[in-house]
Amino acid sequence: MEDQPKTVVITGASSGFGEGAVKCFADQGYRVWGTMRDTAGRNAAKKAALEAHSPGISILEMDVAHDDSVAAGFARILAAGPVDILINNAGIMYLGLTEAFSVAQAHEQMNTNYYGVIRTTQAVLPAMRKAGRGLIINCSSLVGRISPPFFGTYTATKHALEGYSQALRYEVAKFGIDVAIVQPGPFGTGLLGSGKPPAHSEVLASYGELAGVPAAMGANFAQMLQSEGAPDPQWVVDAYLKLAEMPDGERPVRTVVGIAWGVDEMNRLTQPIQDKILHEMQLNGVLGGVST
């Protein structure tokens, strides 16, 4: 009897890395569940196009920012069979003066980029632990390690995701489950254009000319990322697939893709310090099997 294809769930499948990953994994023979919002409305045509791409693709309504939506989506997915790989790809980003974003706007980003990952991860981990295998790939960012100006509220979500992913990797390794982080640099995926302006207009006014810098910078970035020779979003998709097909125990904790801004060097220097914590806390034996 032939081996069953591995099942992968990819969030944020309506565009960018997620859309490309759904197609790529299906082309490689995986059973793919892509998730997105508003599959009966604005994304209906996208759902139809992706499902027409391959019989191995199913597109499911899911908003990772809501408990009930994630629970309902994964109830359907898990009823069809176990999940081998979860790719937490969904994300939103607001660009602007950090002080001018409201708490509600900061929460919107955190709810999708960080709490959303917790929701989907908790949906698959019980079955993965029972099976003794699984892979979770979390899409972070260069700004999960560095903090450039004007990305403050977004950067905070990715720093949170990095911390969560690193700790989780240690804790679930003993169950045969791997957690890997992908850190894309700037790519022309439309993420920059999907954000909201800062809510506190009175704060913007008090910054004078500086208030106009984020929008101008965003426009320049968008133009650069659509130009010839710009980083190709397919590189991130390829990184997802490479991690998925690596043997267990050989996956790096973090993978930088595209423009690095020194984050690859930061990862190389800091990971040994991070892993030393296991020794300092006398946890090496307790967390046996962890790959660093």
Please give the residue that has the higher pLDDT: either 133 or 224: 133
Q: CATH class for domain 7-280?
A: alpha beta
Q: Give me the pLDDT at residue 192, please.
A: 66
What pTM does this model have? 0.93
The pLDDT-based confidence of 211 (bands split at 50, 70, 90) is confident
Q: Is the pLDDT of residue 19 over 60?
A: yes
How is residue 29 written in tokens? Answer: 């023979």
Residues with Cβ < 8 Å from 74, sequence gap 6 or more?
9, 120, 123, 124
Residues noted as catalytic: 14, 140, 154, 158
Q: Is the pLDDT of residue 68 over 60?
A: yes
Q: Is the pLDDT of residue 74 over 80?
A: yes
Q: Is the pLDDT of residue 14 over 80?
A: yes
Q: Give me the pLDDT at residue 1, please.
A: 36
Separation of alpha carbons 148 and 276, rounded Å: 28
152-183 pLDDT, tens digit each: 999 999 999 999 999 999 999 999 999 999 99
Sheet architecture: strand order including 7-10: 57-61, 31-36, 7-10, 85-88, 134-139, 177-184, 254-257
Q: Give me the pLDDT at residue 131, please.
A: 96
214-273 pLDDT, tens digit each: 888 878 777 777 777 778 899 999 999 999 999 998 999 999 998 889 999 999 999 999
Q: Give me the pLDDT at residue 229, please.
A: 77
Separation in Å, CA 199 to CA 7, 100, 222: 41, 6, 22
Q: What is the mean pLDDT of residues 15-21?
A: 95
